Amino acid sequence: MIHGVSSMSKSSLETQAAQGIAVFDRLAREYDQWFDHHPEIYQAEVETLRRLLPASGDGVEIGAGTGRFALALGAMLGIEPSWPMARIAQAQGLMTVQAVGEHLPLPNGRFDFALLVTVICFVADLPTLLCETGRVLKPGGRIVIGLIDLDTPLGRLYESRRATNPFYRYAHFYTTDQVIDMLLGAGFHQPWTYQAIIDLPGEGPQVDVPIRPGHGEGSFVGLSAIWSPPARMP
């Protein structure tokens, strides 16, 4: 177990993930409307992730939601377990497949990059998700993760309000360093990060959202790493 990550049972995590999917089934429209109500933050998150993408290639978003990030960042396919969310993405022009990230119905070595944006906090088995993501990437392909860093004021605020927030009630937040450790353990290497400096809620509308290299200041972190498939036994 990585230091700082709670040791919930697998069945508890699976139940939590299923409950989270049910919330998105019920509140898909409300989720999608958040991006229209917070355009400056959404654009800053997109630009944070864009700096970590390869210059070209085929991409997939795992946990694509309503398609906001896949469509903005050029992913050709979205994987989404919530059918109401996937239906909105399809209406916007994104081809989607209804599935969970731990069991991807995709061939080995198909994609140049994979996006996982604010999704790792909702999955039942993050190590398996990372290994599955690596499986569908080409050697040298890139994973690009967007997360709310638990080790920031906004991350700690979200964690403290989980019980009253319908979307994050069943979430499990991680620090950026924890996710980097898991990526390295799953066979990825050369991690690097960018961060968006997002104000806390209630501090007024944020018109300018700074984007900087690294992590530790910004609550929204873009994290990228390169896939190295395991060497075959002789």
Assigned token pair, 11: 């069945």
pTM: 0.90
The whole-angstrom separation of Cα 183 and Cα 217 is 21
The whole-angstrom separation of Cα 131 and Cα 183 is 9
98-153 tens-digit pLDDT: 999 999 999 999 999 999 999 999 998 999 999 999 999 999 999 999 999 999 99
Mean pLDDT of 192-219: 91
- Which pLDDT does position 15 carry in this prediction? 65
Confidence tier at 16 by pLDDT (50, 70, 90): low
Mean pLDDT of 62-80: 98
Q: Is the pLDDT of residue 11 over 80?
A: no
81-103 tens-digit pLDDT: 999 999 999 999 999 999 999 99
- Which pLDDT does position 102 carry in this prediction? 94
Q: Is the pLDDT of residue 1 over 50?
A: no
Burial of 13 (0-12, 13-18, 19+ CB in 10 A): middle
* Helix axes 83-91 and 10-26, enclosed angle (nearest 10): 50
Find the distance separating the first CA and the last CA of the chain, reported in whole Å: 31
Q: Is the pLDDT of residue 49 over 80?
A: yes
Residues 218, 196 contacting (CB under 8 angstroms): yes
- Which pLDDT does position 4 carry in this prediction? 36
Residues 77, 101 contacting (CB under 8 angstroms): no
The whole-angstrom separation of Cα 187 and Cα 110 is 17
- Which pLDDT does position 232 carry in this prediction? 64
- Which pLDDT does position 9 carry in this prediction? 57
Query: Beta strands of 15-149 (E only): which ranges?
Result: 59-62, 77-79, 95-97, 111-117, 137-148
The CA-based angle 94-88-43, given to 5 degrees, is 70
Least confident of 76-80, 159-163, 223-227: 159-163
Query: pLDDT: is 12 or 202 the higher one?
Result: 202
Tell me the pairing of strands 77-79 and 111-117. Answer: unpaired
